[in-house]
Amino acid sequence: MHDLPMTEDDLLEKYGLRPTGAQLDEVRGILTREMREPEPDVGLMKLCCVQLFLNGSLEDAPLIWEAKESGWDAHCSIDVQLLCGAGLEATLAHLEGEALDYLKLCVESGDFEDFSVSRQAEWYAEYYEE
């Protein structure tokens, strides 16, 4: 690692949008470290969440929720849809507590109308890889 803080560009250059294997553990570590910073880089946190979303593991949903709820800026920047890389129904069945309650409210309010993992993945690919 280098002395300077990691940027979104650094993270994309190092792992691309779809890290695999041990790279995913590193992304989780970066996200966890960033959440604990006094002034976190919310853009970097969001990109970590996008990478975890694209991995599609239910096991990452609680970490993404923790990142989303780590501060006001993070809450506003990290899309609730990022919780659902394994699909909406599977995520609803997996989550519990506040995260589940919030996700249900978002579904009821229409935030998941026309949602699909593949459509969301395409949107993020266009956004980050232009």
- Please give the single-letter amino acid code of residue 21: G
Residue 2: predicted pLDDT: 43
Q: Phi and psi dihedrals of 35, rounded to 5? A: -60, -30
Instruction: Count CB-CB contacts under 10 A for residue 55.
Output: 18
Eight-state DSSP code of residue 86: T
CA dist 127 and 121 (Å) reads: 10
Residue 4: predicted pLDDT: 57
pTM of the model: 0.94
Residue 27: predicted pLDDT: 98
Q: Which two tokens stand for residue 127?
A: 């956004």
Residue 129: predicted pLDDT: 83
Q: Which residues contact 44 (CB under 8 A, 6 or more apart)?
A: 6, 7, 8, 11, 30, 34
First to last CA, the chain: 26
**What is the CA angle 62-100-38, rounded to 5?**
45
- Per-domain residue ranges for the chain? 8-129
Q: What is the pLDDT along the chain (130 residues), one digit of tens a residue?
A: 445 578 999 999 999 999 999 999 999 999 999 999 999 999 999 999 999 999 999 999 999 999 999 999 999 999 999 999 999 999 999 999 999 999 999 999 999 999 999 999 999 999 998 5
Eight-state DSSP code of residue 124: H
Residue 109: predicted pLDDT: 97
